[in-house]
């Protein structure tokens, strides 16, 4: 009768989702229910007679042995958590309830697989952390890197690339990349036949089974359905108005991404899009505040700031700095006769010509109206500055095509050199401004 009830009890225990096990005082399994195969990946026959510590995750072995010692001293452990390594090498999170049977010298324990719960917990924590970081971050690259470090602990990720669309057609820039083939900050031209192109066009997440080539060259023909296996995910970075980029996830091997994986990564992509768009808007506002809306040149405020920086640097290293203050001759007549639209077009064309006469490292600014300035650094003498001045005057002698009209103007230029003419920005601007009016009077005298 006892044997019959024992057999019935064993069959009932085998129906449980939890694992029931008994280990002796040395930690060897003397009994384990058949659900061990579902939880640990090993059959009853494989686990019986082996030591339980062999299956415990290496990082959790010391604390597991310490808890086992407490149980053997009579202290029950109803909610002890640790990690086991499954037969396939994956990690399973276990919650144990265990007690010591002194008369039989065995530990009786029930193991519950809480891996999905732990995954959900980590996912929720990650979502919260990423959301917090996204709203505080002023550095999208750092946000992407920190998010990658969080996510890769529970989603199989080998490649993590965040790319944003460039102003030029089919160009993308890497906001963050852990792939050395595509360094952060570099750009790439997207082929219209790639999956990335389709993601941008259709604003939809795509999964693909890459055939081993570059993660950016995965073709439209390689995409698969979400219930199938794939090793590549492309997720659009979408704002209310448009797709501003793509989050690319690559795995080492083909796998099936769960709906939870995809939902989390889509949420992450949303946060990236918000942070990147905010940063772009901040940069646009900063540019608008510091640049002339018509010509795109630095405005008076930015020029004065750069002049101060250049003077301070020149003081430290003992170099010369030059300032050119310029005013157009004949602009008012063009503006009055042809209208403000043609006057604006003329100012834009003047800016382009002045820019062609100086080095890329020099600063050209529109101070307002038809006044321009140039800041020259690392100069070797006044003669070099006068050569630049002459070059600008010669460039502006040629007429300007204003659509259906032609305009011919001149330019008056005043020069001031630090430290020869002044030792601060205020004095240099005043001297250059006065010199410009002297030049204008000379030019008017010649005309008369």
Lowest mean pLDDT among 71-75, 227-231, 344-348: 227-231
Taking alpha carbons only, the member of 347, 327, 314 closest to residue 420 is 314
Q: Report the chain's terminal Cα–Cα distance, integer Å.
A: 131
With a cut of 80, say whether residue 294 has pLDDT above it: yes
Q: How confident is the model at residue 31, as a pLDDT?
A: 92
Class for the domain spanning 300-447: alpha beta
| Number of H-type helices and E-type strands within the chain | 13, 18
Contacts for 443-446 with beta carbons within 8 Å, 24 or more apart?
A: 443/329, 443/410, 443/412
Work out the pLDDT band at 416, boundaries 50, 70, 90: very high
Greatest mean pLDDT among 114-118, 166-170, 435-439 lies in 435-439
Residues of the chain with CATH 3.30.70.270: 300-447
Q: Which residue shows structure tokens 């608008």?
A: 288
Q: Helix (H, G, I), strand (E, B), or coil: what is residue 171?
A: strand
Taking alpha carbons only, the member of 441, 333, 314, 335 closest to residue 380 is 314
Residues of the chain with CATH 3.30.450.20: 2-113
Asked if residues 158 and 178 have their Cβ atoms less than 8 Å apart, the reply is no
Q: HSE of 406 in the Cβ direction (CA atoms, 13 Å)? A: 4
Residues of the chain with CATH 3.30.450.40: 119-289
pTM for the predicted model, two decimal places: 0.63
Q: What is the pLDDT of residues 244-268, one digit of tens each?
A: 889 988 877 766 677 778 888 888 8
Q: How far apart are CA 282 and CA 260, in angstroms?
A: 33
Question: Who's near 20: CB < 8 A, 6+ residues apart?
Answer: 13, 31, 32, 33, 35, 108, 109, 110, 111
Work out the pLDDT band at 157, boundaries 50, 70, 90: confident
With a cut of 60, say whether residue 404 has pLDDT above it: yes
Whether omega before 419 lies within 30 degrees of 0, making that bond cis, reads yes
Work out the pLDDT band at 75, boundaries 50, 70, 90: confident
**How is residue 235 written in tokens?**
């997720």
| The CATH number of domain 119-289 is 3.40.605.10 | no
Question: Who's near 398: CB < 8 A, 6+ residues apart?
Answer: none
Q: What is the pLDDT of residues 166-180, one digit of tens each?
A: 766 678 888 899 888
Q: Which residue shows structure tokens 């005082």?
A: 25
Please return the burial class of 207, using the count of CB atoms within 10 Å of its CB with bins 0-12, 13-18 and 19+: buried
Question: Who's near 336: CB < 8 A, 6+ residues apart?
Answer: none
Average pLDDT over residues 271-290: 87
H/E segment holding residue 104:
none
Chain centroid to Cα 338, Å, comes to 48
Q: What is the pLDDT of residues 322-363, one digit of tens each?
A: 999 999 999 999 999 999 999 999 999 999 999 999 999 999
Beta bridge partners of 418: 321
CATH homologous superfamily for 2-113? PAS domain (3.30.450.20)
Q: Where do runs of H (alpha helix) occur along 112-258?
A: 115-136, 140-151, 195-202
With a cut of 60, say whether residue 160 has pLDDT above it: yes
Q: What is the pLDDT of residues 90-111, one digit of tens each?
A: 899 999 999 999 999 999 999 9
Q: How confident is the model at residue 3, as a pLDDT?
A: 54
**How is residue 394 written in tokens?**
């010669």
Q: What is the dihedral of CA 383, 389, 391, 392, to 10 degrees?
A: 170
Average pLDDT of the residues of the chain: 87
Taking alpha carbons only, the member of 237, 235, 227, 222 closest to residue 258 is 227
Work out the pLDDT band at 1, boundaries 50, 70, 90: very low
């Amino acid at each position: 009768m006892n044997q019959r009830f024992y057999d019935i009890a064993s069959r009932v225990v085998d129906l449980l989702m939890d694992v029931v096990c008994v280990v002796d005082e040395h930690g060897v399994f003397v009994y384990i229910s058949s659900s061990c195969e579902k939880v640990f990946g090993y059959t009853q026959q494989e686990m019986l007679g082996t030591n339980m510590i062999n299956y415990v995750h290496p990082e959790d072995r010391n604390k597991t042995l310490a808890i086992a010692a407490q149980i053997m001293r009579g202290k029950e452990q109803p909610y002890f958590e640790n990690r086991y390594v499954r037969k396939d090498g994956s990690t399973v999170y276990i919650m144990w309830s265990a007690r010591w049977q002194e008369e039989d010298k065995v530990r009786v324990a029930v193991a519950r697989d809480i891996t999905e719960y732990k995954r959900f917990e980590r996912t929720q924590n990650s979502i919260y952390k990423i959301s917090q970081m996204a709203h505080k971050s002023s550095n999208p690259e750092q946000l992407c890197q920190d998010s990658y470090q969080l996510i890769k602990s529970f989603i199989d990720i080998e490649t993590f690339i965040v790319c944003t669309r460039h102003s030029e057609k089919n160009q993308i820039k890497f906001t963050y990349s852990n792939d050395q083939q595509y360094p952060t900050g570099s750009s790439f031209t997207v082929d219209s036949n790639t999956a990335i192109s389709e993601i941008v066009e259709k604003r939809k997440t795509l999964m693909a089974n890459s055939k081993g080539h570059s993660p950016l060259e995965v073709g439209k023909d390689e995409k698969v359905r979400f219930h199938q296996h794939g090793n590549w995910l492309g997720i659009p970075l979408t704002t209310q108005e448009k797709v501003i980029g793509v989050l690319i996830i690559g795995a080492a091997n083909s796998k099936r991404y769960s709906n939870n994986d995809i939902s989390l990564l889509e949420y992450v992509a949303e946060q990236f899009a918000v942070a990147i768009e905010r940063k772009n808007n901040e940069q646009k506002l900063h540019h608008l505040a510091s640049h002339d809306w018509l010509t795109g040149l630095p405005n008076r405020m930015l020029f004065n700031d750069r002049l101060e920086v250049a003077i301070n640097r020149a003081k430290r290293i003992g170099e010369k700095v030059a300032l050119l203050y310029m005013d157009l001759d004949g602009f008012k007549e063009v503006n009055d006769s042809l209208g403000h639209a043609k006057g604006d077009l003329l100012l834009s064309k003047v800016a382009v010509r002045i820019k062609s006469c100086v080095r890329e490292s020099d600063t050209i600014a529109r101070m307002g109206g038809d006044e321009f300035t140039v800041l020259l650094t690392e100069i070797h003498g006044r003669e070099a500055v006068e050569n630049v001045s002459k070059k600008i005057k010669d460039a502006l002698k040629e007429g300007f095509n204003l659509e259906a009209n032609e305009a011919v103007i001149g330019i008056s230029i005043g020069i001031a050199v630090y430290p020869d003419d002044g030792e601060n920005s205020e004095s240099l601007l005043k001297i250059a401004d006065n010199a410009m009016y002297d030049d204008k009077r000379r030019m008017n005298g010649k005309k008369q």
